[in-house]
Amino acid sequence: MTARGQCPIVMVAEDEAPQRAALLAMLAEAWPGAGEIVACEDGVEALQAVAALRPDVAFLDIRMPGVGGLDVARAVVAAGGRVVFTTAYDEYAIRAFEAGAVDYLLKPVAPQRLAQAIKRVREALARPVSGDLQARVDELEARLRPQGAQRIRWISASVGDSVRMIGIDEVLLLQAQDKYVRVLTDDGEAVIRTPLKELLAGLDPDVFWQVHRGIVVRVAAIDRVRKDELGKWRLSLRGRDEALPVSAGFLHRFRGM
C-alpha cells in the first residue's frame, strides 16, 4: 500500500464500458503521478477492490446495478480514501452533490473538469481525512432520495397456495433470492416478487437498514455483528441462528454497537 498522497492508488467504478474506458484514458493522461489505476465494472467488484487495495481515491458512478456508488463511497471513506462521483443527474440535482461537500463529474466527463477534480483531490490527500465524510455521504443520499415517496404499510406476500397480508411493523428481514424477495417475520416466512430496490424507496431508513446488496433488516431486530472464521462479517437477528452476510460498504452503520 502506498502512502496517502504519494503515487496514490486510484479506482474507477463505472458499469458502462465506453464511459469507463474514456475516464481511464483521461485519468492516465491528466494524472501521470498517480500510481495504480484500478477499473471496476460494477459496485460489487468495487467493494472487493476497496477491501483488497484500500484506494486513496475512487471515481464512482453514482448509479450502478446491485451496489451503487454511495454504498461503495462509504467503504472508501471508511478506509481513509477520497471520493469523486460521476453522474448523469441534471443541473438541479447536482446541487445535492455540492451541498454534500463531495466532488462530482457530470457525464460525459470533460477533460478540463476532470483536471479540476484531480487538483482538488490532490489537495485533499495532503490533509488529514475529515471525520464527517461519512455523514456527508449520508446527507447526499438523503438529498438524492425521491421526495414524497409513499411509505410501505402492508406487504401482500405468497405463503404456499395462499396470500398473506403482512404489516410492515411485523417484518424483520427482506432478502433477495433469485426472482423473489424473502420476507421474514416472527410468525414465519413468505415471498414477494417486488424487487428489493423498489421496496427500499418505501421503507423508513431509520427503521430498516440495508446491510448487503440483497439484504435489508429491521434495526431493532439486530442482535450482533461479528467476523466469522474466514474474516467475513456476519449479522444475526435476535432469537435466530441464521448468519446473514454484511457487505463492507455497510459496516460503518455498526460502529459503536
Among the listed residues 94, 133, 140, 134, the one whose alpha carbon sits nearest the alpha carbon of residue 113: 94
pLDDT at 204: 86
Residues 160 and 130 in one domain: no
Residues 6+ positions from 53 with CB-CB distance below 8 Å: 1, 9, 11, 36, 38
pLDDT > 70 in the chain, percent: 85
Say if 149 falls within a structural domain. Answer: no
pTM of the entire structure?
Answer: 0.61
Interval 30-45 mean pLDDT? 91
Q: Is the model more confident about 19 or about 134?
A: 19
For residue 147, the model assigns a pLDDT of: 56
Domain limit, last residue, from 144, 170, 205: 144
Q: What is the pLDDT of residues 214-235, one digit of tens each?
A: 999 999 999 999 988 888 899 9
**108 and 188 part of one domain:** no
Per the model's pLDDT, the better-predicted residue between 256 and 127 turns out to be 127
R_g of the chain computed on alpha carbons: 20
Q: Is pLDDT of 143 > 70?
A: no
Residue holding cell 410468525? 187
Answer yes or no: do 137 and 219 share one domain.
Answer: no
Tell whether 113 and 35 lie within a shared domain: yes
Helix (H) or strand (E) holding 176: strand 171-177
Is residue 1 a part of any domain in this protein?
A: no
pLDDT digit string, tens, across residues 53-97: 999 999 999 888 767 788 888 888 888 888 898 887 665 456 656
Q: Does residue 201 lie in a domain region?
A: yes
In a shared domain, residues 140 and 25: yes
What pLDDT does residue 63 have?
82
Note whether 64 and 43 are within 8 A (CB).
yes
Q: What is the pLDDT of residues 103-116, one digit of tens each?
A: 888 888 999 999 99
CA–CA separation, 105 vs 116, rounded Å? Answer: 10
Same domain, 116 and 195: no
* CATH number of 34's domain: 3.40.50.2300
Mean pLDDT, the chain, whole residue set:
84
Section 175-185 average pLDDT: 91
- CATH number, domain at 182? 2.40.50.1020
Q: What is the DSSP letter of 130?
A: P
Residues 83 and 171 grouped into a single domain: no
Give Cα 61 distance to the centre of its chain: 11
Q: Which of 144, 177, 206 is the last residue of a domain?
A: 144
Residues 15 and 139 in one domain: yes
From start to end of 20-151, where are the E strands?
37-40, 57-61, 82-87, 103-106
**Mean local confidence (pLDDT), 26-34:** 93
C-alpha pair distances (Å), 70 with each of 30, 120, 160: 25, 20, 37
Indicate the burial class of 59 (C-beta count within 10 angstroms; 0-12, 13-18, 19 or more).
Answer: buried
Q: Are residues 133 and 164 in the same domain?
A: no
- Statement to judge: residues 137 and 231 lie in one domain: no
**Domain contains 45:** yes
In a domain, residue 3? The reply is no
CA dist., res. 56 & res. 81, Å (int): 4
Residue range(s) defining the domain that contains residue 22 = 10-144
The β-bridge relationship of strands 82-87 and 37-40 is unpaired
Residue ending a domain, among 123, 144, 165, is 144
Cell numbers for 211: 446491510
Number of domains forming the structure of the chain: 2
pLDDT of res. 101: 47
Give domain status of residue 2, yes or no.
no
Which parts of 128-170 are beta strand (E)?
154-159, 162-167
Which range (35-39, 45-49, 75-79, 119-123) has the least confidence?
Answer: 75-79
Same domain, yes or no, for 107 and 85?
A: yes
Residue 5 has what pLDDT? 47
Q: What is the DSSP letter of 2?
A: P
Q: Are residues 159 and 193 in the same domain?
A: yes
Q: Which amino acid appears at position 33 of this protein?
A: G
Within-domain flag for 116: yes
In a domain, residue 185? The reply is yes
